[in-house]
Structure 1
């Protein structure tokens, strides 16, 4: 009797498939077998790329003469500590009664690679039927849909090609560049840092670029010189209520385009500000005349849904946990069927999912912090037109749509720790918020004239909560009214705008052009410029997603999507590695990231030898190239030729360098900060 074989990435996933398929088969060592079905699993990667010595024993010794190392064909081998499971899987794949193989590894590039390597080394009969199960959550309904709609494995050949190339790229750059830089500069670095032990210089396509981002930021902060500036503020009286006006040197001002200005709203010297106050205080009592008043309403839409980078940034900010920790926790939520697939770059839903979204919302009627909103959304039908909004866009989805709650598995919340439960809450609230109208604000802008100088006042007050009533987390201890605007960002500027006395706003609304108001006081407020902020673990992940730019604006980020450094699946791992090899420091309490002295030394070595490795745009272009392979826009051969050419040129370029002495001077500049 012929049998179907299902192969998953982990034992836990295999169990979910067994439950969905209602299989109560015999549990064997490494697989489950029933009458017509077998379910087995990998344990992550079972196969890896072979080290150079597998090609030639002479390559075990690092030597400049053997570089660049560019094999014509790549060799692979079974990872020793999982060889038992590999042999079990290999045996099952090649059983004669197994006629159909369903590949159920994680639905993404890495999951595809895990299976393809096993298939390659197991030498599975090419004539066997192989189908790919592609799912977005581990609910029974989604698993059964994935099996029913499984496409031939060959439909994913381009994705597999990009997976092979990504691994080969990391391998070739890692081995060639780490070896050539270690051979050329390793002793110099060891002697300089006086570590006593010779150690390899570790570089990689993505990790070195990320190191560069952190080191450059640290050096910008060091080079920053605070500049004081002086603003002039007027306290203006409106029917017994005071409001503030800020002076600006706009056209018509005596100081328009003056060399005395730091910016249009401040002077370089305090004396200049004092002179201005003297000039406009000549006529007593001082009066401010309303020259312009503008009232308008402003709407603020709910933010886009979470992808992994956005969620990692949020969790770093709120919970002070690392991106790696966030990924582990949201992966657990996924495996407990609570949320959809976490390793996604998309922040929108697909049209197909939007049609069935009422099911996700309906499930949340049983969730403590979703019940009220889910009932409201379902009763008013606001979910019905979601397909016509910015939250649904098939073109912005590659492998998976955004992270959203499934509406299922709620009983599993009792088995999770408190942080994981809170992460689930923020995912639910972000999801439900998109079915609510925008928040509405009343904005009033005033320009008042004192003599011939202009003073500006801005007021903004919330008049309709809209989606904001959904997004305030239950564990947020701050005043809900003051923070509701800020739950989606870092709690920035808007909170001050929302604290205006409503009676003052009523007075301001009734002011008219030409009215004269008494000025109670003119004061100088000293400020100073701020240095750039250090990255924290979350903002660094966001910067990686955006090719080295920290872009917080939803629309701008959507425009350059797909131009990131690394992928949603690898960014946390890369940051982890940089901390582990002590090139970066991660403060666990604050999640602030800084370079170590060793990290700065390695940065300087790379900057003086293979500078392009530090270029975020170039690193992102390699990732974009892999996307082109996955989409079938360029061939594996084209990409391989470009890759080998780059590795060869860079490696040979380092061979001809003789700049160790100049590097010592550069090392000394950074060393001043590590005394």
Structure 2
């Protein structure tokens, strides 16, 4: 089957093909659609294993294959599960307890291995991060027989036509340091986890008087996390409550009512009645007034952590679900690569071009904002401090959206509004704090009003300042305690 595949692809020309390794099937499909302008044939050499034969506009021939995430895992050379410490390990095809998945992994590696024998060049097109680099490294090293060093790297942060074409026109050398970093992380996780887990299981089994086997695990992240939870639970159980109370008064001035809180916290219940009796139906005097204006900067561009926090705050979507949705939007070429820690979007992504694309391909809900931004001579986004050498912050590509489910629409709208709001002007609020003396008891009332909406009008409804408007006061003025 594989021999006929190579003969068919090379039969019409002596020119050989380039093998492209992608991380996910949808990424392989998208790359094939963009590059294969002259020819695109989808084939299934083995059940469930899809490849794409393509010819680009420059008559370059490719076979595009896909991994299924990690196809290789670390395994100990020592087979005795009771022995530890274990330091000698090897990379082998990932084992799955699900027979169908296990078979598909082996068949995928078999297809890639056989196709690699006739390839003239190798292109690593997995995600440009530690995990993506390692996925491609293992395939090129083991399935393709030590081809990582001679392979080229396609680096892209979105799956738009422009960026993919630019990436494949400017292939880079692979960076073994990134691959080594990925290998080191997996080694640490594996060696830490397997040795401590075996030690833990051994301790439990030795102390177990009824001879039942217990399979326990601990890991580099799992252990400290469980420790944190236990410590927190111990603190909660040992906590001795110390009750306290706040007193809030309702005041009136010229027909306007407002609230103020007693400045101090009450720790004795007996003090409450005393304070209430001294303040009820009395008159307070404005003791002090403080007012100032505060500028609020636009939000920073999203990194994955900020996006997950914001999606949970607004929509109550869990972090894992948000990541899954973001990855689906990335594979649909609607947003840039989401697994980034950066809070910066460089000018090279083309601010104005993205905004124009959003104007053309999306409905009119962004129209006023976009028209205002496009009138500007310069577009300068507000940037955060966090940087990622591999990818910029998350941004919308402006590509026309496909059919999306409700959750995808919500996350995409959030990302678009966040991106646009980074170009907004600072918002300005006016803060007022008034101290009212009622028979020697100081009550504080705080007000907050928006003077200038700025970027807030762009990011609505995802950011709203709850205004609290106070009457106008003068120092020494009297106000009535309503209750």
Q: TM-score range by the shorter chain?
A: 0.7 to 0.9
In 2 relative to 1, CA 270–117 (structure 1 residues): closer, same or farther, beyond 3 Å? same
1:225 and 1:470 mapped to 2: Cα distance? 46
**Distance 1:385-1:421 versus aligned 2 partners, 3 A rule:** closer
Give the Cα separation in 2 of the matches to 1:339 and 1:131.
Answer: 25
Q: Is the 8 A contact 2:21 2:65 kept in 1?
A: yes
Q: 2:292, 2:21 → 1: CA distance? A: 59
| TM-score where L is the length of structure 1 | 0.61
Q: Which one has more relative contact order, counting CA pairs under 8 Å at least 6 apart?
A: 1
Q: 1:465 aligns with which of 453, 468, 472?
A: 453
Residue 75 of structure 1 aligns to a residue whose secondary structure is strand
Tell me, yes or no, if the aligned pair for 1:44 and 1:114 is still in contact at 8 Å.
no
Cα deviation 1:215-236 (Å, max 9, x = unaligned): 4444444444443223344433
Q: Who is 2:24 aligned against?
A: 10
Aligned to 2:290: 294
1:336 partnered with 2:335: no
Deviation at 1:454, TM superposition (A): 2.5
* In structure 1, distance between residues paired with 2:457 and 2:330: 26
| TM-score, normalization by structure 2 | 0.84
Report the CA distance shift for 1:214/1:124 in structure 2 as closer, same or farther (over 3 A).
same
In the other structure, the counterpart of 2:142 is 121
Tell me which residue corresponds to 1:69: 86
Contact 1:363 1:408 in 2 (8 A): yes
1:158 corresponds, among 159, 173, 177, to: 177
Shift of 1:351: 4.2
Alignment map for 1:389-408 (pairs within 5 Å): 389-391=382-384, 396-408=387-399
What do the CA deviations read for 1:289-333 (whole angstroms, capped 9, x no partner)? 222212211222222222222222333344444322222221111
**Aligned twin of 2:412:** 424
Structure 1 residues 323 and 197, CA gap change in structure 2 (3 angstroms): farther
Structure 1 equivalent of residue 250 of structure 2: 235
Higher helix proportion (structure 1 or 2): 1
Residue 45 of structure 1 deviates from its aligned partner by: 4.3
| Unmatched runs of 5 consecutive residues or more in structure 1 | 249-264, 474-482, 486-493, 522-675
Instruction: Say if 1:462 and 1:222 are closer, same or farther in 2 by CA, change over 3 A.
Output: farther
SS in 2 for 1:160: helix
Partner of 1:441: 429
1:304 aligns with 2:323: no
Q: Is the 8 A contact 2:290 2:434 kept in 1?
A: yes
Instruction: Specify the SS of the correspondent of 1:396.
Output: coil
Matches of 2:40 and 2:84 in 1, distance apart? 53
Compute the displacement of 1:438 (Å): 2.5
Cα distance change of structure 1 residues 110 and 312 upon mapping to structure 2, 3 Å threshold: same
1:380–1:51: structure 2 CA closer, same or farther, 3 Å change rule? Answer: closer
Partners of 1:403 and 1:427 within 8 A in 2: yes
Between the aligned partners of 1:181 and 1:347, the Cα distance in structure 2 is 41
Distance 1:309 1:7 in 2: 28
Per-residue deviation, 1:338:
0.8
Deviation at 1:24, TM superposition (A): 1.2
| Residue of structure 1 in register with 2:188 after alignment | 169
Relative distance call for 1:434 and 1:120 in structure 2 (3 A) is same
1:102 deviates by 1.6
Residue aligning to 1:31: 51
For 1:572-591, list aligned pairs within 5 A.
Answer: none
SS of 1:51's equivalent?
strand
For 2:226, the equivalent position in structure 1 comes to 211
Distance 1:328 1:484, change over 3 A: closer
Kindly tell me: are residues 457 and 424 of structure 1, through their superposed partners in 2, closer, same or farther at Cα, counting changes over 3 Å?
Answer: same
Post-superposition CA distance 1:562-582 (Å, at most 9, x none): xxxxxxxxxxxxxxxxxxxxx
CA distance 1:215–1:374, change in 2 (3 Å): farther
Report if the CA contact (8 A) 1:99-1:128 is conserved: no
Among 51, 72, 94, the alignment partner of 1:48 is 72
Q: CA deviation at 1:190?
A: 9.9
Pairing partner for 1:19 from 33, 38, 55:
33
**Aligned with 1:403: secondary structure?**
coil
Within 5 Å, give how 1:129-208 maps onto structure 2: 129-153=150-174, 156-186=175-205, 198-208=213-223
Partner of 2:379: 384
**How far apart, in 2, do the equivalents of 1:361 and 1:62 lie?**
58
Using a 3 Å threshold, how does the CA distance of structure 1 residues 293 and 91 change in structure 2: closer, same or farther? same
| Maintained 8 Å contact 2:140/2:148 | no
The whole-number CA distance in structure 1 between the counterparts of 2:298 and 2:283 is 42
- The answer on whether the counterparts of 2:380 and 2:423 sit within 8 Å (CA) in structure 1 is no
Query: Could you tell me which residue of structure 1 aligns to residue 309 of structure 2?
Result: 313
SS in 2 for 1:230: coil
CA offsets per residue over residues 268-287 of structure 1, 9 Å max, x none? 11222333455568xxx833
Change (3 A) 1:306 1:212: farther
Does the 8 Å contact 1:297/1:441 carry over to 2? yes
1:402 partner SS: coil
Q: Which of 251, 256, 259 in structure 2 is aligned with 1:244?
A: 259
Which sections of structure 2, spanning at least 5 residues, go unmatched? 1-14, 95-101
CA contact (8 A) 2:23 2:126 kept: yes
What's the CA shift for 1:466? 1.9
Contact 1:231 1:273 survives alignment (8 Å): no
1:99-134 C-alpha deviation (Å, 9 max, x unpaired): 332210111111100111112213646697421111
State which of 83, 86, 90 in structure 1 corresponds to 2:113: 90
Checking the alignment, whether the CA contact within 8 Å between 1:370 and 1:428 is kept in structure 2 is no
Show CA shifts across 1:382-422 (max 9, x none): x6233xx435x6x7223212221110031x1x2x2211111
